[in-house]
Amino acid sequence: MRFFTPFRHLTRSKLARYLASQNPKANPMADSKMSFARSAPANDWLVICDFDGTIAHVDVTDGVLSRFALPQWEAIEADWKAGRIGSRECMARQVDLVRAPREALDAYLDTVEIDPDFPAFVFDCRARGLEVVVISDGIDYSIRRILQRHGLDELPLASNRLQMLGGDRYALEFPEANPKCSAGSGTCKCRVSSRQASGRSRLLIGDGSSDFCLAAEADLVFAKDKLLTRCIDQRLPHRACPDFASARRLLPQLDRLSSRGVDRAANRNINPVISLETLVNG
């Protein structure tokens, strides 16, 4: 969230709307523009967590590349950012440039921190009967090793698969790729999450461009950074969620939603969360 915008620029009515939107308990009508079907238990939801920049504080793959890849990886990254190649091609070519003994790779991964509230968030979800899955366009080996330090390596994971070629060389496999993916992602989050949800509503927690496609399909998004901006611009059902401490506080809202989630057709042209930026700029 952008806290530098002075509150004095808001009219009294706009300030009231903003404060109410950030504290729905204080205003029972804060969700009045959202249409829901019948009440249902929260375990009718599948909780989908992105990894890089969401569970982990950093983009782990970028950390590996910046430490161990030949310099050409940056030119490949520039091609991806310019839209000339998809993320699947980008990552395959970049991982091919990595030169690191496994011991050096592990040593780096063991320094990566995760959001300190993520383990408690998983516990909260399980207490509510919610299944938590990790769906990432990152690398399975990195994710598993990092989660293992926190006793969470048994979480269901869908991601790109690291192949050990021996010595200091690696390659990527893409077991969850979708040839029809418009973004050319290595892991198609939309298809994987749809299969795993088995009719349940989908809650996405994420931060970046790899989450954009799924955010358009998910029933609700807990978003930050680029994904929050995307949700605001596209008027997608969302809550601003800078960390998993915030996600823990937001979880009880699922109790009020239905097994069918948000009626997206009815809410296509409204923004369920009022942002301070939106209020200031009208």
Q: What SS3 state is found at 60? A: helix
Beta-bridge mates of residue 114: 56
| pLDDT, tens only, 111-120 | 999 999 999 9
C-alpha–C-alpha distance, residues 191 and 11, integer Å: 44
The answer to the question of residue 53 being in a domain is yes
The answer to the question of residue 79 being in a domain is no
The answer to the question of residue 102 being in a domain is no
Helices (H), 133-186: 140-148
Going by their DSSP bridges, the two strands 157-166 and 169-173 should be labelled as antiparallel
pLDDT greater than 60 at residue 36: no
Specify the pTM. Answer: 0.78
For the packed helices 102-109 and 140-148, what is the interaxial angle rounded to 10 degrees?
Answer: 50
Residues 169-204, buried b or exposed e (16+ Cβ, 10 A)?
ebebebebbbeebebbbbbbbbbbbeebbeebbbbb
The answer to the question of residue 239 being in a domain is yes
The answer to the question of residue 129 being in a domain is yes
| pLDDT, tens only, 128-144 | 999 999 999 999 999 99
* pLDDT confidence of residue 203: 98
C-alpha–C-alpha distance, residues 182 and 184, integer Å: 6
pLDDT greater than 50 at residue 59: yes
Identify the residue whose tokens are 């990886």: 73
> For residue 157, which phi and psi values (nearest 5 degrees)?
-135, 130
The answer to the question of residue 29 being in a domain is no
Q: What SS3 state is found at 238? A: strand
Local structure of residue 52 (DSSP, 8 states): I
Residues 94-119, buried b or exposed e (16+ Cβ, 10 A)?
bbbbbebeeeebeebbeebebbeebe
Question: Which run of H or of E encompasses 2?
Answer: none
Q: What SS3 state is found at 174? A: coil
Q: What is the mean pLDDT of residues 185-214?
A: 95
> For residue 132, which phi and psi values (nearest 5 degrees)?
-110, 130
pLDDT confidence band for 42 (50 / 70 / 90): low
Indicate the number of domains in the chain: 1
Going by their DSSP bridges, the two strands 238-240 and 157-166 should be labelled as unpaired
C-alpha–C-alpha distance, residues 89 and 26, integer Å: 48
The terminus-to-terminus CA distance of the chain in angstroms comes to: 17
Do the Cβ atoms of 136 and 143 come closer than 8 Å? yes
Q: What is the mean pLDDT of residues 211-222?
A: 96
The enclosing domain of 211 has a CATH number of 3.40.50.1000
DSSP assignment string, 13-47: HHHHHHHHHH-GGG-TTTTTTS-B-S---GGGEEE
For the packed helices 60-68 and 87-95, what is the interaxial angle rounded to 10 degrees?
Answer: 40
The answer to the question of residue 81 being in a domain is no
Identify the residue whose tokens are 């509230």: 117
Structural domain span for residue 155? 10-22+35-57+116-166+173-281
Q: What is the mean pLDDT of residues 201-212?
A: 96
The answer to the question of residue 143 being in a domain is yes
| pLDDT, tens only, 153-198 | 999 999 999 999 999 999 999 999 998 887 789 999 999 999 999 9
